Amino acid sequence: MTKLSVNINKIATLRNARGGDVPNLSQFAIDCQRFGANGITVHPRPDERHITFKDALALREVVHTEYNIEGYPDQRYFDILRQAKPEQATLVPDGPHVLTSSEGWDIRNHFEALKAWIAQIHDLGIRSSIFVAPDAEQIQWAAEVGAQRIELYTGPYAHGFKVDPEKSLQPYAEACNTAVQLGLGINAGHDLSLENLTFFKEGLIQLDEVSIGHAIIADALYFGIENTVGMYQRCLN
């Protein structure tokens, strides 16, 4: 089974656009889980343009499936991890001024820092994941720094899928084989959608988890969040 973690950043964006507490982030997380999501993902950025520090802590009280907190590993991020104690921490290489995660780590050139950050995550009793491109060398380095999982950056797959699905999937299938040989769990995320998710899952049977936000929230505008979560689960399982 491949788990579906719903990224709810966009719900916080909508709330923040008007102020107040509508839509209610915690209730939305509760409902996503009730409708079949296997987890909730957030990425609390320093500028708090969507998920805030307070949100990250409040969600811990209502996420009873699996809580995944993504972020750049600065002091603020680790403060959130220490207080929220999610099941998974996913390290991404984008600093505070980046709009969205658009590339994986260059692990070799950040080896010592990543090794130390991952050790801190494990000391907190949290599973570690590291955001990477589908590149065998980077995946090998991910194992070297002690990561327990990788999250494959699927932006290039989603872009290439429209032109040549088989070709766009190939590097990801090879990346999965490398990860399995190294004993790493495999997550994936970025631009996965109803259009391309089934093909991706069928080609990567070892896939543990996908984290999807933008497409799910956009589809929910048309289908409703209950139907949308069900549709994505059918793509996966």
What would the pLDDT profile of 139-187 be if each residue is shown by its tens digit? Answer: 999 999 999 999 999 999 999 999 999 999 999 999 999 999 999 999 9
In this prediction, residue 100 carries a pLDDT of: 59
Please tell me which residue in 66, 70, 151, 209 is annotated as part of the active site: 70
Give the HSE-up count for residue 17: Cα atoms under 13 Å, Cβ half-sphere: 7
224-233 long-range contacts (CB < 8 A, ≥24 apart) are 225/28, 225/31, 225/32, 225/35, 226/31, 226/35, 229/4, 229/6, 229/32, 229/35, 229/36, 229/37, 230/35, 230/36, 231/194, 232/4, 232/194, 232/197, 233/4, 233/36
Please tell me which residue in 50, 66, 151, 190 is annotated as part of the active site: 190
φ/ψ of residue 7, rounded to 5: -85, 120
CATH code at 3-236:
3.20.20.70
Place 103 in a pLDDT band, splitting at 50, 70 and 90: confident
Rounded to 10 deg, the angle between the 136-144 and 111-123 helix axes is 50
Q: Is 48 a catalytic residue?
A: no
Please tell me which residue in 43, 50, 66, 209 is annotated as part of the active site: 43
Q: Is 190 a catalytic residue?
A: yes
Q: Is 70 a catalytic residue?
A: yes
pLDDT tens digits along 45-66: 999 999 999 999 999 999 999 9
Average pLDDT over residues 92-99: 69
First to last CA, the chain: 6
The pTM of this model reads 0.95
Place 96 in a pLDDT band, splitting at 50, 70 and 90: low
